Amino acid sequence: MKPTLLIIEDNEQNLYLATYLLEQSGFKVASARSASAGIRLAGEIRPALIVLDIQLPEMDGYAVARALRQNAALSAVPIVAVTSYAMVGDRERALEAGCNGYIEKPINPDTFRSQIEEHLNARPAGGEIQS
Protein backbone atom coordinates (compact mmCIF):
# COMPACT_ATOMS: atom_id res chain seq x y z
CA MET A 1 0.00 0.00 0.00
CA LYS A 2 1.48 3.30 -1.05
CA PRO A 3 1.39 6.25 1.35
CA THR A 4 -1.02 9.15 1.53
CA LEU A 5 0.07 12.42 -0.03
CA LEU A 6 -1.49 15.82 0.56
CA ILE A 7 -2.03 18.36 -2.21
CA ILE A 8 -2.66 21.98 -1.18
CA GLU A 9 -3.93 23.71 -4.32
CA ASP A 10 -6.72 26.20 -4.98
CA ASN A 11 -6.93 25.72 -8.74
CA GLU A 12 -9.44 22.97 -9.62
CA GLN A 13 -7.75 21.94 -12.86
CA ASN A 14 -4.30 21.67 -11.32
CA LEU A 15 -5.70 19.81 -8.33
CA TYR A 16 -7.56 17.40 -10.60
CA LEU A 17 -4.49 16.70 -12.73
CA ALA A 18 -2.10 16.24 -9.81
CA THR A 19 -4.59 14.01 -7.98
CA TYR A 20 -5.21 11.93 -11.09
CA LEU A 21 -1.51 11.40 -11.79
CA LEU A 22 -0.67 10.42 -8.21
CA GLU A 23 -3.70 8.15 -7.81
CA GLN A 24 -2.72 6.43 -11.05
CA SER A 25 0.59 5.64 -9.39
CA GLY A 26 -1.28 4.04 -6.50
CA PHE A 27 -0.96 6.81 -3.93
CA LYS A 28 -3.81 7.82 -1.70
CA VAL A 29 -4.39 11.52 -2.17
CA ALA A 30 -5.89 14.00 0.28
CA SER A 31 -6.45 17.57 -0.80
CA ALA A 32 -7.08 21.03 0.57
CA ARG A 33 -8.06 24.12 -1.41
CA SER A 34 -6.84 26.72 1.05
CA ALA A 35 -3.76 27.40 3.15
CA SER A 36 -5.58 27.10 6.46
CA ALA A 37 -7.34 23.86 5.50
CA GLY A 38 -4.04 22.46 4.23
CA ILE A 39 -2.15 23.25 7.42
CA ARG A 40 -4.94 21.76 9.53
CA LEU A 41 -5.25 18.61 7.41
CA ALA A 42 -1.49 18.07 7.32
CA GLY A 43 -1.42 18.02 11.12
CA GLU A 44 -4.33 15.57 11.23
CA ILE A 45 -3.26 13.03 8.63
CA ARG A 46 0.54 13.47 8.66
CA PRO A 47 1.00 12.77 4.95
CA ALA A 48 4.15 11.16 3.57
CA LEU A 49 4.67 14.18 1.31
CA ILE A 50 2.99 17.52 0.67
CA VAL A 51 2.53 19.08 -2.77
CA LEU A 52 2.17 22.79 -2.13
CA ASP A 53 0.90 25.41 -4.55
CA ILE A 54 2.74 28.67 -3.95
CA GLN A 55 -0.08 30.89 -5.22
CA LEU A 56 -2.86 30.57 -2.67
CA PRO A 57 -5.39 33.27 -1.91
CA GLU A 58 -5.23 33.89 1.83
CA MET A 59 -1.59 33.08 2.53
CA ASP A 60 1.17 32.28 0.06
CA GLY A 61 2.83 28.89 -0.09
CA TYR A 62 6.05 30.16 1.44
CA ALA A 63 4.14 31.11 4.58
CA VAL A 64 2.34 27.75 4.50
CA ALA A 65 5.69 25.92 4.28
CA ARG A 66 7.02 27.85 7.28
CA ALA A 67 3.85 27.08 9.25
CA LEU A 68 4.11 23.37 8.40
CA ARG A 69 7.74 23.31 9.53
CA GLN A 70 6.75 24.77 12.89
CA ASN A 71 4.80 21.57 13.58
CA ALA A 72 7.38 19.13 14.98
CA ALA A 73 5.33 16.18 13.69
CA LEU A 74 5.72 17.51 10.15
CA SER A 75 9.31 18.70 10.32
CA ALA A 76 10.64 15.80 8.22
CA VAL A 77 7.79 15.55 5.71
CA PRO A 78 9.00 16.44 2.20
CA ILE A 79 7.28 19.54 0.82
CA VAL A 80 7.34 20.04 -2.94
CA ALA A 81 6.41 23.54 -4.07
CA VAL A 82 4.46 23.95 -7.30
CA THR A 83 4.33 27.35 -8.88
CA SER A 84 3.79 29.14 -12.14
CA TYR A 85 6.04 31.99 -11.06
CA ALA A 86 8.98 31.86 -13.41
CA MET A 87 11.02 34.40 -11.53
CA VAL A 88 14.64 34.04 -10.58
CA GLY A 89 14.90 33.45 -6.86
CA ASP A 90 11.64 31.54 -6.41
CA ARG A 91 13.45 28.26 -6.04
CA GLU A 92 15.68 29.73 -3.34
CA ARG A 93 12.67 31.31 -1.63
CA ALA A 94 10.86 27.97 -1.59
CA LEU A 95 13.87 26.15 -0.19
CA GLU A 96 14.43 28.84 2.44
CA ALA A 97 10.79 28.52 3.53
CA GLY A 98 11.36 24.82 4.18
CA CYS A 99 10.40 23.20 0.88
CA ASN A 100 12.51 20.29 -0.35
CA GLY A 101 11.92 20.88 -4.02
CA TYR A 102 10.21 22.89 -6.67
CA ILE A 103 8.10 21.95 -9.69
CA GLU A 104 7.13 24.53 -12.28
CA LYS A 105 3.62 24.77 -13.71
CA PRO A 106 2.18 23.74 -15.99
CA ILE A 107 2.44 20.27 -14.49
CA ASN A 108 4.11 17.92 -16.96
CA PRO A 109 2.26 14.57 -16.77
CA ASP A 110 5.34 12.74 -18.06
CA THR A 111 7.63 13.89 -15.27
CA PHE A 112 5.38 14.90 -12.34
CA ARG A 113 5.13 11.45 -10.75
CA SER A 114 8.84 10.72 -10.98
CA GLN A 115 9.64 14.12 -9.46
CA ILE A 116 7.32 13.40 -6.55
CA GLU A 117 8.67 9.88 -6.06
CA GLU A 118 12.21 11.21 -6.07
CA HIS A 119 11.38 13.41 -3.07
CA LEU A 120 9.57 10.56 -1.30
CA ASN A 121 12.58 8.29 -1.73
CA ALA A 122 14.96 10.99 -0.54
CA ARG A 123 13.13 11.10 2.78
CA PRO A 124 15.64 10.34 5.53
CA ALA A 125 15.15 7.07 7.41
CA GLY A 126 13.66 7.40 10.87
CA GLY A 127 12.23 10.79 10.15
CA GLU A 128 15.44 12.60 10.94
CA ILE A 129 15.93 16.04 9.53
CA GLN A 130 18.81 16.36 7.12
CA SER A 131 21.24 19.08 8.11
The residues of the shown chain that bind Mn ion, judged by CB under 5 A, are 10-11, 53, 55
User: What is the nearest approach in angstroms of Mn ion to the Cβ of residue 108?
Assistant: 17
User: What is the nearest approach in angstroms of Mn ion to the Cβ of residue 17?
Assistant: 13
Which is nearer to Mn ion, 11 or 115 (by Cβ)? 11
Per DSSP, helices labelled H in 1-131 are: 12-24, 35-45, 61-69, 90-96, 112-121
Which is nearer to Mn ion, 61 or 78 (by Cβ)? 61
Answer for the pair 30, 54: CB distance below 8 angstroms, yes or no.
no
User: What is the nearest approach in angstroms of Mn ion to the Cβ of residue 55?
Assistant: 4
Residue 54: CB partners within 8 Å, gap ≥ 6?
60, 61, 62, 81, 82, 83, 85, 90, 94
Burial state string for 45-55 with b = 16 or more CB within 10 A and e = fewer than 16? eebbbbbbbbe
User: What is the nearest approach in angstroms of Mn ion to the Cβ of residue 95?
Assistant: 19
Which is nearer to Mn ion, 20 or 122 (by Cβ)? 20
Closest-CB residue for Mn ion? 55
Which is nearer to Mn ion, 49 or 82 (by Cβ)? 82
